[in-house]
Structure formats: C-alpha cells, structure tokens
Structure 1
C-alpha cells in the first residue's frame, strides 16, 4: 500500500472546511493537510464551472495529483468515493464520517434533513438539493482501505448506513462512537484522532 503524501479534507454540505480542524490538529501523521471548499456552499463564491454534481466531482479529482488520503464528512464522503473510483492509483485511504455513501439512506432509517437545511441556507445550490447519487453497484470496485466513522445517535446518517457500507465495501472497517451525532468527527476529534492515525499508518510499506 502506498503512503499518502497529503491529507485532503472534504467538508459536508455546510461547506465549512473548519469542521475538520480539531481532528487535523490532533493527527500526528506527518504530511501536508489541505482543506477543500465547494463553490457556492457555505458562503464560498460560486464558480461558473461548477453547475452540477459532476462538475464538483471533477474539481475534487483535480486536487489529487499525488498519493492522497481523503478524509470526508457526510456528503463529502460521496465525493471521496467518486474520487477514489476515478483515481484508484493515487487515492491511498478513505476516512468517511457519517456519509450517505451513495446509498438510499431513508430506506435505512435516515431522516430527511434537506428542507430544514435549505430554509437555513437559502443560497444553497439548487442542483444539490435534488441530487440522489446511487453508488451501490460501484462500491465493490473501491479497493482502498476505508475507515467508516459513525455515531449511534445520528438521525441524518444512522448506524445502519455505516453497517451497510461495511457490507458493500471490500476493504472497510467500522468504528462507532457512543452517543455520536452527525458532528461526531468534530465533537469527538480527541477520541478519533489516534484511531485515524493508526489507520493511516497500518499496512503502509516502509
């Protein structure tokens, strides 16, 4: 397994790269950390070249120009999985926190967060609200090691989603935080950081 030479952090739908700062600050893995923003999300300026989800995937993939571990929150996990499929030789690891993973999460007991989220974020890109990305048939092709981080108290992405991803991804592990909600990677960074460090170091060729 290749060692990553950068850690690329992908936020959730809020688009806030600072979400990952508490975890990134505690990681000991000695490579560059980069924090992505999404055009039109979380107050970031829009980009005329990003008009749909495929455009956003392409923009993320363009950031992967060296061996990279992708660390992603919620909707960022779908982008990370798409990037791993697009650049399997350069994506070395995936750390996915409370993501939908391209599954039908409502069928797995998730609550629908979109209406409330849009009410609080009226300038959110319309195309994302209607997005229903289905990666079920492609997950078997994700050969990178995947760390799934979940809480057992998250109505937006309940534990059943993580368990289903564990079943579908060929090289995955699932770590569950007691009482963890949808913000678990931020709120429980102190607990998760050593686990992520161990995951990034395990199996890396000397």
Structure 2
C-alpha cells in the first residue's frame, strides 16, 4: 500500500519528514510536489488551480491512503471523488476539505501567504473550490486531525467534516496549531499508525 502526502499551500514537501519517519516501513511513501511551489520547477501546462489539482490527482496511480494538510486536503478530496478504486483511506489534517469556510470564524491566511511566498501564482490564493455537496458520498474510513489552537482551520471545521463524512473519526491535538502535523508529529503519528492498523 502507498501513503501519499499532500502538503499545504506552501508546497513544502519537507514538512512531512518528521511524520514520515514514524510511519510503518511496509508502506511506500509518495510526497507529491506542486510545480511552481517551494522551489519545484513550474509546469508548462499548469495555469490554474484546476490544472494543478488535475496534475496532483494524476500522480496517484496505485492503491493509496492519502494524508493531507491544509490546502492539500482539497486535492485529497478531488482524488477521492475521481479515483474511488485507488483511494483506500483518507487522513485530513487541519484542512478545509473543499468546503465554504465563510460560516466559520477563520483567520484569513491569504495576505500573509502572498508576503511569504512571492513566487507562488496568484490564482492559488484566489480560488474557491466547493466539494461540499459530494462529501456525503465518500464512504472510506477517514481520520480527521485538528488542533484546538488553529486560527486558520479551527476545530469547528473538523467537527463539521466529522458530521458530513460518514466513516470519519475526529482527533483533537491539545495545543495544536495549523502546523501540528510537523510540530506535533509524535502525537499525530500515534493516531495515524492506529488508523492504519485498525481501519485500512
């Protein structure tokens, strides 16, 4: 089985290193880089969020469990909806999951993102993807991991997804913020290892 890692808006593939080190060796690990992000060369055919999403989904070509953080969760949902035969499990960490966040009191990350990642295309922060009407059709075992100190994706978002996704379980990291998959990798790894053992 393959574990696919989908980073957040920074596209930093090294974000996952502390977590990957603690996951079972009998799984292959695939960290998908986003062309045009975090030092990865741009791709001539990627000009929009949809193009990038299609590119990411196309990289998944074997039975896989998706582990996604923040904006990476949108790609994970897209892959789950498009490749139902290949996606065997889903771990969403501090993400929107492609739902409209306007009803939640979330911190707007876009301005800070533009300042920090000047090379990233503008369409990445202006896109609005809405998969909400399709989420209830997802019937694979899903682990949701949120931090209770995350202003970008507060626990109310995780609780909402836990209601919509039929086979989901929500775990909350005490004191965890938006970077909890890296900063609290030990605790997150315990939850994912238990999920892999029990659910997949």
Q: TM-score range by the shorter chain?
A: over 0.9
- Kindly indicate whether residue 71 of structure 2 is the aligned counterpart of residue 79 of structure 1: no
Which residue does 1:63 correspond to in 2? 59
Unaligned runs of 5+ in 2: none
The Cα of 1:182 is off from its aligned counterpart by 0.2
Deviation above 6 Å: which 4+ runs of structure 1? none
Which residue does 1:25 correspond to in 2? 21
Per mean C-alpha deviation after superposition, the further-off stretch among 28-37 and 13-22 is: 28-37
SS at match of 2:40: coil
Which residue does 2:130 correspond to in 1? 134
From 79, 94, 105, the equivalent of 1:98 is 94
Unaligned runs of 5+ in 1: none
Structure-1 separation of matches of 2:29 and 2:60: 13
- Kindly indicate whether residue 160 of structure 2 is the aligned counterpart of residue 158 of structure 1: no
Per mean C-alpha deviation after superposition, the further-off stretch among 139-148 and 67-76 is: 139-148
Greater RCO structure (CA 8 Å; 6+ sep): 1
Structure-2 separation of matches of 1:202 and 1:50: 38
Kindly provide the CA deviation profile for residues 55-83 of structure 1, in whole angstroms up to 9, marking residues without a partner as x: 11221222222110010110000100110
CA RMSD of aligned residues (A): 1.1
Normalising by the residue count of structure 1, what TM-score does the alignment of the two structures yield? 0.93
Structure-1 separation of matches of 2:106 and 2:76: 21
Contact map agreement 1:29 1:200 (CA 8 A) in 2: no
Contact map agreement 1:93 1:146 (CA 8 A) in 2: yes
Contact map agreement 2:32 2:59 (CA 8 A) in 1: no
SS at match of 2:90: strand
SS at match of 1:51: coil
Which residue does 1:184 correspond to in 2? 180
The Cα of 1:51 is off from its aligned counterpart by 1.1
Structure-1 separation of matches of 2:16 and 2:106: 23
Normalising by the residue count of structure 2, what TM-score does the alignment of the two structures yield? 0.96
